[in-house]
Structure 1
Amino acid sequence: MVPHLITALTGPLNELEQRVLEGMPAIERWFRLEWMEHTPPFYTSVDVRNAGFKLAPVDTNFFPRGWHNLTQPMLPLAVQAAQAAIEKICPEARNLLIVADNKLKTTSYYSNLARLAHIFRMAGLNVKVGSIDPAIKSAKKIELPSGELLLLEPVVRSKRRLGLKNFDPCTILLNTDLAAGSPGILEDLHEQYLLPPLHAGWSVRRKSNHFHSYEEISKRFGKLLGIDPWLIQPIWAKAEEVDLTRGSGTEGLATQVDAVLAKVRRKYKEYGINEKPFVIVKADNGASTMPILTVRDAREFESLVASLKGKGDSEGDIDVIVQEGVRTSERVNDGVAEPVVYMMDRYVVGGFYRVHPDRGSDENLAIAGASFVPLGFPDSAHLPQPGARLTASAPNRFYMYGVIGRLAMVAAAYELEATNPEAEVYE
């Protein structure tokens, strides 16, 4: 279910964590029943923020690209999950094709592909990595820092199937977020499983659909445990038809910023939290070039809007999300950190910390300059916890992160079902 991993946060468990640990049997039964009714995304990563008084997901990704950041001891978990996922989808599977992202050409990304291929080979599949980039005309050998060689081959499309020269896969795993749209080469495949589905790509996916699903999940989960859903869910709102470069739609966006800040202030007052709330403003469409903004009050928002007006190319009016900001109380190597939980099928297989030395606890860490520190198992010395209480042991705390990650994964399953263009509609 959730591996026993070490986290960086020490100190006693708060009331929320205690409630979750006490409710473990009911929680695991709840997840089992959910997976009897819904299909989990093939693989998922979730960014989690622990503010001490609140623990919530802030981003859910259908195309995780940091598999090389998982430690060697985590690989057996990933292999077992990969076997379970493949057996469910295609029990007779023999060949798997991983489709790489055209835009990413870094050593780090190629190491991610090599690790992903290794996991599925260990799961008993013939695995190859292909590219749909028209510029890739022949096989390309890429030497990795580990000494491995990654072979990147051009994808070949026949009339109804996708593969490589002399390699016909039954399953195709996308490791590209399709932000630029769904290329025709991936459409109308015959008797091949495409994972994740095309409607999971950022060209069509909307964050508001995920937040809507997660809101529903958190209310039901909160009722199960007898807790306020706000403790595991950011408040959010959506503003439509906004273009910050032209200054259009900013009044409606300002109204939503004020509304979310006001709701968060009321919650802070209710729980006696003596901190200044903030919101994260970002595009609803993950393919947008709009910057992610941290806003603490109306005056700061006006200043940010003024600084962006007239700068950059306009992409037209877009929908914008206003999301309650969740601070992170975790630090690794003197840098602000947030745990990233990795899952395959319905299982947590591991995770790591995203760390940024130049960002504050109320800022987005997923930008240039971030580094990644692997989580370790309890006998590891990577992130020791001298003097930590037994009840606050790292495995207990990571169980919490796994629960939040899996809640986001359930919401992702709901989201994919609700947005599936091939689903039957009943009047």
Structure 2
Amino acid sequence: MVPRLMTAFSGPLLEIERRFLDAMPEIERWLRGQWQEHTPPFYGSVDLRNAGFKLAPVDMNLFPGGFNNLDATFLPLCVQAAMAAIDRICPDARRLLLIPEKHTRNLFYLQNVAQLAAILRLTGLDVRLGSWSPEIDRPTPVALPDGSSLLLEPLLRSRSRLGLEGFDPCAILLNNDLSAGIPPILQNLDGQFVLPPLHAGWALRRKSNHFAAYDEVAGDFARLVGIDPWRINPYFSVCSSVNFHERQGEDCLAANVDAVLGLIREKYQQYGIEETPYVVVKADAGTYGMGVMTVKDAAQVTGLNRRQRNKMSVIKEGLAVSQVIIQEGVHSYERVGSGSDEGVAEPVVYMIDRFVVGGFYRVHSGRGKDENLNAPGMHFEPLAFETSCSLPDHCQNPDAAPNRFYVYGVVARLAQLAASLELERTAPIEEQVACA
């Protein structure tokens, strides 16, 4: 199923798509050169927003949890990309320990874990699942809706190595974003690759660091293809020392919201865009769509009521919000589905290593084009992408499905490249690790 983009807003985006198609050889050559200089994260997913006049990433997840939402036709791409990543990191790897999130009762999430484990096993690895959850004190089978099951086992720490009983892995793949902090059992390991690195977790990571790196990447790329970088890049700013319960930091919030809205208004005026500018205020660390609010006027962030303050005060694992990013809101004019299932949609592109391996649409029938779609009531359309985002078709129009999805894939790879820079710049002193 191909998404429906409102044609009234397709003109400017068609121009961008045409630029991407015309510059395809230069784009792929430039990206190839970037990957020679920078190591991509093991995997990632990017939330994009398509406003018709602008296409930009609004979030970058380094611990993607929706592999079960990818269409089965993407499986070969996933396996090939995983093989390339493993060959680069540890060519002799035979055993891999996969550590998922602790919420073992979320069957939708566990179906993602099962699919991820299946992909990794198809690369030739012996894959087992470990957990530090107190609930997992012995090998524990978990039944899945499709009739299959997962076996979760308690982690065992032996001096400076981590594994399971009778299982000593070369590599450890985290599908746990470390929102609650880095547990001691993962610290100071010797001779084992931890993927992604520990500082990629939300205990240390900040969205503002990612978008600062993306701003640099988008600027370089825009010069390459001859476009205004704003067409693929959201404005943002940051407020620290925020405490919503105590109303601390409201002046900083109001000033930054007003400043970002002012920049957006200038661009809208420059391009004759009649939409209402808005920003999204969200926790600078964290995921799951928590701690997020849409703002169209600076006055909206002062004098928040108790319900609004409670909503913005905590994120996953009940952690308090102390720093927020004020990000330009990007309207989404794509709609997917029919009848009661029709809703505003945003593409989510999945990558392993430097390769796009598929995507799907996050859809919400109860939200508007200027609202956060990562909220209760959303659903996914796993069949929305008819192509892999890797192969454009120059014989078709720029907005034909393979060409639009190619553009999505390029912008997603820019975000993946920005994540590479982000992790390089925020890394602690490197420790020498080698394959066991």
Query: Which TM-score applies when normalising by structure 1?
Result: 0.92
Cα-to-partner distance string for 1:323-352 (whole Å, 9 max, x where unaligned): 000011111121111010000000000011
Residues 6 and 395 of structure 1 are in contact (CA less than 8 Å); yes or no, is this contact kept in structure 2? no
Which residue in 1 is equivalent to 2:5?
9
- Alignment equivalent of 2:357, drawn from 349, 358, 367: 349
Q: Take 2:149 and 2:320, find their aligned partners in 1: how far apart are those partners?
A: 43
Q: What's the CA shift for 1:242? A: 1.3
- 1:265 has 2:265 as partner: yes
Residues 43 and 343 of structure 1 are in contact (CA less than 8 Å); yes or no, is this contact kept in structure 2? yes
- 1:98 has 2:106 as partner: no
- Alignment equivalent of 2:325, drawn from 321, 324, 330: 321
Q: Take 1:68 and 1:60, find their aligned partners in 2: how far apart are those partners?
A: 18
- Alignment equivalent of 2:411, drawn from 400, 404, 414: 404
Structure of greater relative contact order (alpha carbons < 8 Å, 6+ residues apart): 1
- One-letter amino acid of the counterpart of residue 9, structure 1: L
Which residue in 1 is equivalent to 2:32?
32
Q: Secondary structure at the match of 1:77?
A: helix
Residues 100 and 175 of structure 2 are in contact (CA less than 8 Å); yes or no, is this contact kept in structure 1? yes
Q: Structure 2 unaligned segments of length 5 or more: list them.
A: 389-395, 432-436
Q: Secondary structure at the match of 1:98?
A: strand
Q: What's the CA shift for 1:152? A: 1.1
Q: 1:395 to 1:287 in 2, by over 3 A?
A: closer
Residues 7 and 375 of structure 1 are in contact (CA less than 8 Å); yes or no, is this contact kept in structure 2? no
Q: 1:76 to 1:214 in 2, by over 3 A?
A: same
Q: What's the CA shift for 1:134? A: 2.4
Q: 1:227 to 1:377 in 2, by over 3 A?
A: closer
Residues 138 and 153 of structure 1 are in contact (CA less than 8 Å); yes or no, is this contact kept in structure 2? yes
- One-letter amino acid of the counterpart of residue 371, structure 1: H
- Answer with 393-402 or 311-320: which moved more: 311-320
Q: Take 1:379 and 1:366, find their aligned partners in 2: how far apart are those partners?
A: 24
Q: What's the CA shift for 1:37? A: 0.2
Alignment RMSD: 2.2
Q: 1:121 to 1:402 in 2, by over 3 A?
A: same
Q: Secondary structure at the match of 1:14?
A: helix
Which residue in 1 is equivalent to 2:231?
231
Q: Take 2:377 and 2:289, find their aligned partners in 1: how far apart are those partners?
A: 19
Q: Take 1:317 and 1:14, find their aligned partners in 2: how far apart are those partners?
A: 39
Where do 1:20-419 residues align within 5 Å? 20-103=20-103, 105-286=105-286, 291-302=291-302, 304=304, 308-309=308-309, 318-333=322-337, 334-376=342-384, 378=386, 390-419=397-426
Task: Please identify runs of 4+ aligned residues in structure 1 that moved more than 6 A.
Answer: 287-290, 310-317
Residues 51 and 331 of structure 2 are in contact (CA less than 8 Å); yes or no, is this contact kept in structure 1? yes
Q: Secondary structure at the match of 1:360?
A: coil
Cα-to-partner distance string for 1:28-83 (whole Å, 9 max, x where unaligned): 01100000000000000000000000000000000001010011110000000000
Q: 1:255 to 1:174 in 2, by over 3 A?
A: same
Q: What's the CA shift for 1:21? A: 1.2
Q: 1:376 to 1:307 in 2, by over 3 A?
A: closer
Q: 1:260 to 1:83 in 2, by over 3 A?
A: same
- One-letter amino acid of the counterpart of residue 49, structure 1: R
Cα-to-partner distance string for 1:138-196 (whole Å, 9 max, x where unaligned): 11111111221111111111111111111111111000000000001011112111100
Residues 10 and 392 of structure 1 are in contact (CA less than 8 Å); yes or no, is this contact kept in structure 2? no
Cα-to-partner distance string for 1:244-283 (whole Å, 9 max, x where unaligned): 2111110111000000001000000000001100000012
- One-letter amino acid of the counterpart of residue 144, structure 1: L
Q: Take 2:320 and 2:98, find their aligned partners in 1: how far apart are those partners?
A: 34
Q: Secondary structure at the match of 1:241?
A: coil
- One-letter amino acid of the counterpart of residue 348, structure 1: V
Q: What's the CA shift for 1:378? A: 3.8
Q: 1:351 to 1:55 in 2, by over 3 A?
A: same
Q: Secondary structure at the match of 1:136?
A: coil
Q: 1:160 to 1:317 in 2, by over 3 A?
A: closer
Q: Structure 1 unaligned segments of length 5 or more: list them.
A: 381-388
Q: Take 2:175 and 2:154, find their aligned partners in 1: how far apart are those partners?
A: 15
Which residue in 2 is equivalent to 1:386?
none
Residues 3 and 335 of structure 2 are in contact (CA less than 8 Å); yes or no, is this contact kept in structure 1? no
Q: Take 1:187 and 1:341, find their aligned partners in 2: how far apart are those partners?
A: 31
Q: Take 1:325 and 1:305, find their aligned partners in 2: how far apart are those partners?
A: 23
Q: 1:37 to 1:179 in 2, by over 3 A?
A: same
Q: What's the CA shift for 1:289? A: 9.9
> Percent of aligned positions with the same letter in both sequences?
53
Q: 1:362 to 1:317 in 2, by over 3 A?
A: closer
